[in-house]
Structure 1
Amino acid sequence: MKFKVTGKNIVVTEALKEMAIKKVGKLDKYFRRDAEAHITMSVQKNRHIVEVTIPFEGGLLRAEEDNQDMYASIDKVVDSLERQIRRNKTKLEKKVHDGSLRFENFNFDDDAEEEPKFEIVRTKKFAIKPMTVEEAVLQMNLLGHEFFMFSNAETLEANVVYRRKDGNYGLIEPEF
């Protein structure tokens, strides 16, 4: 596995970089050699945030954790990624045939919880009118939702605005 370590609002020391690579490197047994892990460390006020993204053929594995200590954030993000792999083991096996995952190393305890089958319990339809991103954020806040799908008045494409953990907003746009 290859590693790319970057920092935002923080100078990543060699010791911190080595620790992150060592901890995230434990996930190496689940991936083929060509897999690449992107580790991003950032600091916002008293929060030390670690985000790990591992793109692989057939999917993307991502986790973000924060703590008051960067080393604790690294530990938490690795635990989170292992939980995701464990929960989605059977789905990943079905989806990826010759991808970059190595399934012979998926020897978790049999009592580990599997993610339940997805069940759609409600379908909702609504008319989409073209609006600006600002109008969509306002509409989302008025409804009290965490996300809002709308037709972007500038591009006439379906977009989604959402509220991020840090209190800011995000925009999802299609890419063709």
Structure 2
Amino acid sequence: MNIIISGRQMELTQGIKDTVEAKLGRLDKYISPDTDVRVTVSAKKGRHKIEVTIAPKNGPVIRAEEAQDNLYPAIDLVFDKLKIQLRKYKGKMQKKHQENQSIRFESVVSDDILDDVEIEEEDTEIKRRKKISVKPMTEEEAVLQMDLLGHDFYMFKNEETDEIALVYRRRNGGYGIIEQED
């Protein structure tokens, strides 16, 4: 597992780096050695935030974030969230009997690191399917259309790039765009 730690609006001390590496290093039993784990630590108005993104070569991206007044409890909480997500994913993959090279399961059965976490089964059945016609428009027009509809996201065909894109409302304010990668 390759842990990449960066700081935003704060200087990372060696103690912070060591704590993050030690805590997330306990997940190496479940993540293959060539998987990138990106960690961003930031401080804003006295609150410390840690964001962790695990991007395996096969399988879904696993992400967790936590904000606290003190950084070290935030590290503990984000670690707990990642454990829960990895356990959910492990359970789903074992049920489907699929092989996944980025997430390792051989030591999970006998390991007690996740024994204290209870997981509720998630309903993944698709309840509704909707087809839409995507219209060419600018990003600003898409944001306006999304607001007019009262939705949190809106799919459209970008006039400038001629590709399908999705505009969405961010939790912390503002808007974001998701575009297809070449």
TM-score, normalised with respect to structure 1? 0.88
Distance in 1, matches of 2:128 and 2:10, equals: 44
**Paired amino acid for 1:167:** G
Task: Indicate the percent of aligned positions where both proteins have the same amino acid.
Answer: 46
- 8 Å CA contact 1:88–1:114 kept in 2: the answer is no
In the TM superposition, residue 20 of structure 1 has moved relative to its aligned partner by 0.9
Give the letter aligned to residue 4 of structure 1: I
The match for 1:81 is: 82
Where in structure 1 do 4 or more consecutive aligned residues deviate above 6 Å? Answer: none
The worse-fitting range, judged by mean Cα deviation, of 100-109 and 136-145 is: 100-109
> CA 1:15–1:91 in 2, change beyond 3 Å: closer, same or farther?
same
- 1:169 maps onto 2:170 in alignment: no
Q: CA RMSD in A?
A: 2.2
| Gapped regions of structure 1 (runs ≥ 5) | none
SS of 1:49's partner is: strand
Distance 1:95 1:70, change over 3 A: farther
Partner AA of 1:12 in structure 2: L
SS in 2 for 1:103: coil
Q: 1:71: Cα distance to partner?
A: 1.4
Aligned-partner Cα distance in 1 for 2:70–2:37: 21
Structure 2 residue matching 1:54: 3-state secondary structure: strand
Distance 1:91 1:113 in 2: 12
Match of 2:125 in 1: 119
Partner SS state of residue 139, structure 1:
helix
**Deviations 1:30-69, CA, capped at 9 Å, x for gaps:** 1222333211111233432111112222122221222222
Paired letter, 1:63: A
Q: Give the counterpart of 2:108 among 106, 113, 117.
A: 106
How many residue pairs end up in the alignment? 176
Distance across 2 between alignment mates of 1:126 and 1:32: 39
Deviates more, 1:125-134 or 1:3-12: 125-134
Alpha-carbon separation, structure 1, partners of 2:103 and 2:3? 16
Unaligned runs of 5+ in 2: none
Per mean C-alpha deviation after superposition, the further-off stretch among 15-24 and 89-98 is 89-98
Report the 3-state secondary structure (helix = DSSP H, G, I; strand = E; otherwise coil) of the residue aligned with 1:154.
coil
Instruction: Give the conservation status (yes or no) of the 8 Å contact 2:84–2:119.
Output: no
Q: Report the secondary structure of 2:171's partner residue.
A: coil
Deviates most, 96-105 or 72-81? 96-105
1:25 counterpart residue number: 25
Deviation at 1:117, TM superposition (A): 4.1
Indicate how the Cα distance of structure 1 residues 17 and 111 shifts in structure 2: closer, same or farther if over 3 A, else same.
closer
Worse overlay, 46-55 or 166-175: 46-55
Distance, in Å, in 2 between the alignment partners of 1:164 and 1:33 is 33
In structure 2, relative to structure 1, the CA distance for the partners of 1:43 and 1:168 (3 Å cut) is farther
